[in-house]
Amino acid sequence: MAGSVKILAAIWLALLSSACSTLGYYSQSVSGHLDVMQRRQPIADLLDSGTTPPGLKARLSTAQTMRRFASTELGLPDNGSFNHYADLERPYAVWNVFAAPRLSLQLKEWCYPFAGCVTYRGYFSEDKARAQALQLDNLGFDTYYGGVAAYSTLGWFDDPLLNTVTGYSDTRLAGLIFHELAHQQLYIPGDTLFNEGFATVVENAGVRRWLEQQADPEKTSDYAAHQRYQEAFHALVARTRAELKEVYASELPDSDKLQLKKHHLDAMRAGYVRLQQSGDMDTRYDAWFAGELNNARLGAVNAYRAYVPLFEGLLADSGGDLALFYQRAAALGTVPGPQRLARLRKAGAAAH
């Protein structure tokens, strides 16, 4: 804990000359994170305790097995992360706010110490996230905020397993652990698409390998269905983004662009219903479609998905060797930003 306090103190010192609004944001970040850390309990102690509820004990035991698999089979960092448990007494760890101009798909960026610039702003309070979204909406942005079950401190701290994820299915829990540890394996400050693409591909490869070890046909079948539905959803979002990009780049008056924007977003919602009616989609994205569809909501999805096909190509070109994949991805991370995407595309294309 002493190391955590030193790092948080360093953040405060770097921000003493900042505006009050910035200090207010970092105040909630520091206090929120310290609260998470103070709630930690060693999972080993909880497993040995006679007072730990049996259901929780079973989930913690499963998570420990996944945690060991992440390091021994996937080569992910072998540290103290996910060896503790914390009950936050709320459904999400943080709430992330996304914003984009009304006639642009480009997400607004915020910059932070250590993490660099990212396309979201995180809050430990839903009320504060909602207030930030409302403020940005009043400034003329499309906004979206959503709960996030876990987050990575990029190796600065030993991240605990949270109550927010213990109700997940086995494959979803494994994926989350692998994804967050992937951020500790490799993180490039200021490149959200690169970082999330890399972590998502590690997550997917890890879950497939974990399922092979489990040899459970039902879990394997459920995961395959999950992947199909996810692919269909992302294809629908990508198609809509492409249509909107063309509209926003046109010479049409803004009033016409806004009408076409509504048309394409309504068509996307209708497309989702058709997928369900045809049996190519279940109800997992109902809540997402129930909210306002706008550029920020589409951008939040794109942030996690845009580079996934490119990293999948890089993994294939690495012969499925995760250690080599990590090495090559890290090398790409040293390339200057404008050249990084081109290098990644070239590396991924070599697999086809």
Residue 68 covered by a domain: no
Name the band, by pLDDT with cuts 50, 70 and 90, for residue 22. Answer: confident
> Residue 20 — very low, low, confident or very high, per pLDDT cuts 50/70/90?
low
DSSP 97-112: EEEEETT------EEE
31-68 b/e with 16+ CB inside 10 Å = b? ebbeebbebbeebeebeeeeebeeeebebbeebbebbe
Residue 132 lies in a domain: no
Q: Residue 17, class by beta-carbon neighbours within 10 Å (0-12 exposed, 13-18 middle, 19+ buried)? A: exposed
Query: Per the domain annotation, does 179 fall within a domain?
Result: no
Single-letter amino acid, residue 76: L
- For 331, other C-beta atoms within 10 Å of its C-beta total 11
196-217 average pLDDT score: 96
Can you tell me the distance from the alpha carbon of 254 to that of 241, in angstroms, rounded to the nearest whole number? 17
pLDDT single digits (tens) 333-348: 999 988 999 999 988 7
pLDDT > 90 in the chain, percent = 82
* pLDDT, greater one: 336 or 74: 74
The least confident of 45-59, 102-116, 233-247 is 102-116
Query: Which pLDDT score, from 0 to 100, does residue 184 have?
Result: 96
Residue 28: inside a domain: yes
Instruction: Please indicate, yes or no, if residue 3 is contained in any of the structural domains.
Output: yes
Q: Is residue 118 part of a domain?
A: no
Tokens standing for residue 74: 């996937």
Residue 13 falls inside a structural domain: yes
Tokens of 133: 């979204």
Q: How many domains would you assign to the chain?
A: 1
Nearest CA to 314 out of 334, 330, 337, 336 is that of 330
Q: What is the pLDDT of residue 351?
A: 61
**CA 296 – CA 72 distance, rounded (Å):** 38
Q: Given this model, what pLDDT does residue 350 score?
A: 66
- Asked if residue 145 is part of any domain, the answer here is no
Tell me which residue range forms the domain holding 21: 1-38
The candidate with the shortest Cα–Cα distance to 216, out of 257, 174, 269, 270, is 174
Which helix (DSSP H) or strand (DSSP E) does residue 41 occupy? strand 41-42
Q: Give me the sheet containing 84-86, strands edge to edge.
A: 41-42, 84-86, 161-162
